[in-house]
């Protein structure tokens, strides 16, 4: 009999901490979002510093922003270049357009035609 029984099936939600500087940069981008046509934030660094955790936390902040400010429409997506195939420009663009199409109904007809033509010319039969 265990002195301190533990249920390993139970998932524990941990608060997201210790990325104040990066979250502030993200929030600052929102404060001036209507002053620009677009905005891209890039986070990079050595392995193990929390980039993936930050990437997973930012959609939560985006959803909170969308709920609190219905006038400013934010169109966003995320691609993790740890997935090797996304490092190929055509694959990255294909996934990016697919995500934006699914989430927001944005159509990329010209891109789809260009990608199909590119793949036809560059892929062996």
What is residue 8's predicted lDDT score, i.e. its pLDDT? 53
List pLDDT tens digits, range 38-75.
767 777 788 887 778 887 888 888 877 777 766 767 78
What domain range includes position 56? Answer: 16-74
* Same domain (yes/no): 20, 63: yes
Contacts of 53 (CB under 8 A, 6+ apart): 16, 19
* Same domain (yes/no): 24, 67: yes
- With vertex at residue 85, the alpha carbon angle to CA 82 and CA 86, rounded to the nearest 5 degrees, is 65
Show the tokens assigned to 75. Answer: 């169109």
5: confidence class by pLDDT, cuts 50, 70, 90? low
Check: CB of residue 115 under 8 Å from CB of residue 93: yes
* Same domain (yes/no): 112, 67: no
Lowest mean pLDDT among 12-16, 86-90, 104-108: 12-16
Indicate if the pLDDT at residue 1 is higher than 50.
Answer: no
Indicate if the pLDDT at residue 82 is higher than 80.
Answer: yes
* Same domain (yes/no): 54, 67: yes
* Same domain (yes/no): 70, 83: no
- How many folded domains does the chain comprise? 2
């Amino acid at each position: 009999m265990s002195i301190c029984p533990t249920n390993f099936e139970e998932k524990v939600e941990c608060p997201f901490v210790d990325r104040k500087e990066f979250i502030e940069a993200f929030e600052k981008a929102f404060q001036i979002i209507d002053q620009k046509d677009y905005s891209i934030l890039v986070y990079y660094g050595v392995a193990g510093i929390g980039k993936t955790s930050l990437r997973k936390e930012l959609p939560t902040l985006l959803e909170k922003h969308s709920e609190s400010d219905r006038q400013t429409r934010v169109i966003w997506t995320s691609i993790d270049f740890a997935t090797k195939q996304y490092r190929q420009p055509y694959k990255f663009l294909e996934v990016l357009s697919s995500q934006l199409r699914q989430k927001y109904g944005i159509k990329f007809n010209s891109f789809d035609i260009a990608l199909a033509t590119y793949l036809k010319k560059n892929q062996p039969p």
